[in-house]
Chains A and B, each alone.
Chain A
Amino acid sequence: MSLLVFVEQRDGQIKSTSLEAVSAARQLADAGAGGEVVAVIAGRGTASPESLGAHGADRVLVADHDLFARYQAEGYTAAVAAAHAQVKAAAILFAASAMGRDLAPRVAARLGAGLASDCTALAWEGGALIATRPVYAGKAIQKVRIAAPPALASLRPRAFAAVEHRPGAAAKVEKLDLAFAAAEARSLVVEVGAAQGGKVDLTEAEAIVSGGRGLRGPEHFHLVEELAAALGASVGASRAVVDAGWRPHSEQVGQTGKTVSPKLYVAIGISGAIQHLAGMTSAKCIVAVNKDPEAPIFKIADYGIVGDALEVVPALTAAVRAAKANA
Chain B
Amino acid sequence: MKIAVCLKQVPSTDTRVKVSADGKRLDPAGVTQVINPYDEYALEEALRLKEAQGGEVVACSVGGAGVVSALRNALAIGADSAVLLKTEGEPDSLGVARLLAAELAGQGYDLVLFGKQAVDDDAAQVPAMVAELMQLPCATVAVKLEIAGGRATAAREIEGGVETVEMALPAVVAAQKGLNEPRYASLKGIMAAKKKPIAEKAVAAPAPVVETVTLTLPPARPAGRIVGEGAAAVPDLVRALREEAKVL
Contact = CB atoms under 8 A, between A and B. Distances in A.
Contact of A195 (B126, B127, B160, B164): B160
Contacts of A255: 13, 119
B9 to A, nearest CB: 14
A138 B139 CA distance: 26
Query: How would you classify the secondary structure of chain A's contact residues: helix, strand, loop or mixed?
Result: mixed
Interface string A104-143: 1110111011111110000000000010011111111111
A237 B5 CA distance: 29
Output the residue of A188, A194, A256, A293 with the most chain B CB within 10 A: A256
Given A204-B159, A284-B247, A320-B248, A143 B212 contact: yes
Query: How would you classify the secondary structure of chain B's contact residues: helix, strand, loop or mixed?
Result: mixed
Contacts of B143: 249
Contacts of A187: 137-139, 165-167, 171
Interface string B196-231: 000000000000111111111110010011111111
Nearest to B240: A303
Contacts of B210: 114-116, 144-146
A312 interface: yes
A15 to B, nearest CB: 9
B128 interface: yes
Interface string B83-121: 000000000111001000000000000000000000111
Contacts of B228: 305-306
Contact of B241 (A106, A139, A303): A303
B192 interface: no
A33 B238 CA distance: 45
Contacts of B238: 316, 319-320, 323
B124 to A, nearest CB: 6
B24 to A, nearest CB: 9
Interface in A225-249: 231, 248-249
B147 interface: no
A282 B200 CA distance: 41
A28 interface: no
B132 A136 contact: no
A142 B215 contact: yes
B140 interface: yes
A256 B122 CA distance: 10
Contacts of B158: 98-99, 192
A31 interface: no
Interface residues on A, range: 35 or more
Contact of B211 (A145, A192, A284, A298): A145
Contacts of A195: 160-161
A311 interface: yes
Interface residues of B, number: 86
A117 to B, nearest CB: 5
Contacts of A104: 125
Nearest to A97: B159
A115 B38 CA distance: 21
B131 A140 contact: no
Contacts of A70: 163
Contacts of B121: 135, 142
B38 A256 contact: yes
A274 to B, nearest CB: 6
Interface in B156-184: 156-168, 171, 176-178
Nearest to A118: B122
Interface in B10-28: 11, 13-17, 19, 26
A190 B154 CA distance: 10
B160 A249 contact: no
A203 B124 CA distance: 16
A117 B139 contact: no
Output the residue of B135, B153, B171, B235 with the most chain A CB within 10 A: B235
Interface of A: 70-71, 73-74, 77, 97-99, 101-106, 108-110, 112-118, 130, 133-148, 186-195, 198-201, 203-204, 207, 231, 248-250, 252, 255-257, 259, 263-264, 273-275, 281-282, 284-287, 293, 298, 300-308, 311-312, 314-316, 319-320, 323-324, 327
12 contacts: A97-B159, A105-B97, A135-B121, A187-B138, A249-B143, A249-B178, A264-B245, A304-B224, A311-B231, A312-B233, A319-B235, A320-B238
